[in-house]
Structure 1
Amino acid sequence: MDETAPIPSPGLGTSGNDDPDRCAETVRTALEIGYRHLDTAQMYDNEAAVGEGIATSDVPREDVFLATKVHPSNLAPEDVRETTDRSLERLGVERVDLLYVHWPTGAYDAEATLPVFDELREEGKTARVGVSNFTTDLLEEARELLDAPIAANQVEMHPLLPQDDLLAYCRERDVTVVAYAPLMQGEAGDVDALADIAADRGTTPEAVSLAWLRQRDGVVPIPKATGEAHLRANLDPPTLSADEVARIDAIEERERLVDPDGAAWN
């Protein structure tokens, strides 16, 4: 895929989809119905299945935007290089379109870790460099150390965690925000504004949450799904009116839904 092209939206999140047969079938189905952005990670233990899904689909590899992430425990320089090669082998590709630092924790040391990502890009093993779960301060540090532009910062984002300041920072610097947990992990129905809009439209609160994200400039959501019906629904959410967007923007409640130990929060 063209290195200057926008990151396709939405992407398919694969976290938790670690049954090999199911994961490969999900990827095949997603590609067949129109997805062109696949998100995986060393942490997800499904890179081989994602690669099988790509290889056995009818969609050419060059039409697929493929992203993976280096596990926090593998962020020492030599481990970045070695485990990225293993990821490429599992995925069955010569390069990925985006390689992320998964979390700025574990073995992460900005001055030691980030130059290796530059080297991997120069060697053609990744087209773009990204980070995940980075604060604005960590982004600023990374931008100073990297030769490559930061293509994306993948963070939790949804109506209860809009990340407005982080999004504004990223927009000003041409960093795409890739939003995980966009369907709010089953909690969207508990948010009155989302439930009310969904009832008015005859859709689901999750679809409303996803629609709101897709209408935010500079945001690419990566919803998770397995069945074809859910994959199709996530590919084509409703278009919200300006009033509906304003109602969601006005939500005051804040909640982070993903909280792994040792994470550095935005």
Structure 2
Amino acid sequence: MRVRIAGETRTGRAIDLREYDFAVTEIADAIRGEGAASAVSIDCPAPGPAHARVGAIRAGMAWSRRPALAAAARSRGHTAPQADELAEVRDRLDAIDAPTIDLRAARRRVAETGDAAEELREEVATVRGRVRALREAEADAADAEADLADATRRLSEVETERIAAEQTLARAREQARTDRERRRERLRLEDRAENLRRSAREALADEVRSRFEDALAALPDDGALPEPVGAALAVARVADLDAPVAVARVGPFEGVDAISAWLDAPVVRV
């Protein structure tokens, strides 16, 4: 790797930056190529699957053993037996499209057109009665007949709108039923995917567990190594690491060369 800092360039497999005031996370960002605004830049191979778990080792680090072991196994080319089924479940999840159907607007439209049709039916009945009365009285019914024709026309239009609104509501209800089934299927698939991911992590962790236990046993013990740090160092020793590991001032190792040799990986010490 090549480290550029304060106008100088350092190269090698083990580089000590303890004279500078860098946080281990800042160095880890530079290793990932995310430290463009930092005072240090690091040219190195791209981080692999294990770096998200053991790329920055420091006291107080968050730690979860099984995912870290699974990542170490993946870095060594191991594949979980659940991988194919998990990929299939993810594909099915991606294919599910379950938009939320709002039935309120469709119901409101049915109610509005229904009320309008009822009012017009009453108006048509009233005007028809007036036309009948005028005809029986042998009076001029032309204006009333024009009113009846207009009301009948408007009633026909509203009835058409009412029928269309009811059909739209029926389709929306059917779509809502379909979407409920899709949502249930999505929840079922999400549960299945989570169970498969958990089983896959366990299977991958088992692939390197014995090597991890051996690495733990091989750690130099000075009584001052926090458990998460020791476990992270052991996972890093088990993993296949091309990109450097950022390691803070922890552990019983004398110097950066000793850490790099023990991990069999490139190291930046901060």
Which category describes the TM-score, using the shorter chain as reference length? under 0.3
TM-score (structure 1 length as normaliser): 0.21
- Give the strand-richer structure, 1 or 2: 1
Q: Between the two structures, name the one with larger relative contact order (CA 8 Å, sep ≥ 6).
A: 2
